Structure 1
Amino acid sequence: MSKEDRQMLDEARKHFIYSLAETMDLYGVTPSIGRLYATMFFQDRPMNLDEMRKSLGMSKTSMSTGVRKLMEIDMVKKVWQKGVRKDLYEAEKDFYETFVDFFCAKWQQEVNLNEQAVAKTKASLLSLLENPNISEAVKEEAHRDLKKMQEAESYYIWLQELLLQCKSGKIFEWLPKPTLKR
């Protein structure tokens, strides 16, 4: 491929790379790591850190940090190739798989964090209600708060079910992946 052809191809890809980087920023992934993922996405072969650094003009340390972050959220995986000594990495190209992995991890964190908070809050509220020295006004508020905690619990049960449906792939029975027209 000529240098001019390569430049035209890179220019065509640039719009998607920057758009994807900005989109990932919405979900807490820095734009530079988003650009790294998008650059790897267009590769038809695994890349090593030196190739990534050269492609993006960033330091090897930044590439290593970025790859580690992308591996944590299952958007990049380490691969092995016979005869290659350097670590190689490949981007997950299935956006559906990436969506499920990324959001399930975030939703699971939310469920874990908030289920504990709901349980502790309920225990504190029930303790208040059992205290004979607490005013009726506070007890009324505590009853209302308990109802709110039950509603929150209901949501986290629903979210846990959504997680299971996503992880199992059953979500795609309810909301099928579109068929590509070629």
Structure 2
Amino acid sequence: MTNNHKENSRLTIENAKALVIDSIAETMDLYGVTRSAGALYGTMYFEEDMTLDEMREMLGMSKPSMSTGVKKLRNYHIVKRNFRKGTRRQTFVAEKDFFTFFSSFFTKKWLREAKINLDAIQQSQNELNDLIEDSKTEKNLKKEAEQIFQHLEASKPYYYWLQKLVNSIESEEIFDFLPVDHKT
């Protein structure tokens, strides 16, 4: 292989990786992650493991930016701390299985959504119920409180369904209904 061909081949490989890294960075806003943290994840996706210094060199970002990005990605469990034999420096590795990435990220978000909203609904319904049962409450206000109570009650099935969806993802039961096609 000539040197020129080898250089062109290397450029093709780097360009292919850059296209995917850029698309990952572009779409990471879905996960509440900045473009730069998305680029960091995309870069790490192609590496075995990396130190903060290696990340900084590859991406040209400051060490504090790298540290912040890694921390955010670790909080989502899509980057994990790793130890490289023979070095005392911490290294980090990206989750390469997108199904695990998806499960880890969305199940936490969906459970949070269900809990926060069901708690708020319960608190609201308790307050509305007190108003409804109070004999001093005017008839039109009682009727409005009852309508709001029922409106809130009608929203609960969604949050219960969301919790069941999370359970089916965590148990991997969802793949019985929606199998992964490993063919391309």
TM-score, normalised by the number of residues in structure 2? 0.92
Indicate how the Cα distance of structure 1 residues 5 and 51 shifts in structure 2: closer, same or farther if over 3 A, else same: farther
**CA–CA separation in structure 2 for the residues paired with 1:7 and 1:128:** 70
Shift of 1:85: 1.1
Deviation per CA, 1:57-81: give whole Å up to 9, x if none.
0011111111111111011111122
Match of 1:171 in 2: 174
Q: Is 1:108 aligned with 2:111?
A: yes
* Equivalent position amino acid for 2:67 in 1: S
- Percent of pairs identical after alignment? 42
Map 1:103-182; keep pairs closer than 5 Å.
Answer: 103-181=106-184
Match of 1:52 in 2: 55
Deviation per CA, 1:71-115: give whole Å up to 9, x if none.
110111111222121101110000011001100011111112111
Unaligned runs of 5+ residues in structure 2 are: none
Give the CA RMSD over aligned residues.
1.5
Indicate how the Cα distance of structure 1 residues 3 and 50 shifts in structure 2: closer, same or farther if over 3 A, else same: farther
Map 1:10-29; keep pairs closer than 5 Å.
Answer: 10-29=14-33
Runs (4+) of structure 1 moved beyond 6 Å?
none
**CA–CA separation in structure 2 for the residues paired with 1:26 and 1:77:** 20
Kindly tell me the number of residue pairs found equivalent between the two proteins: 180
**CA–CA separation in structure 1 for the residues paired with 2:61 and 2:84:** 25
Match of 1:82 in 2: 85
Shift of 1:6: 3.5
**CA–CA separation in structure 2 for the residues paired with 1:107 and 1:149:** 19
**CA–CA separation in structure 1 for the residues paired with 2:83 and 2:56:** 20
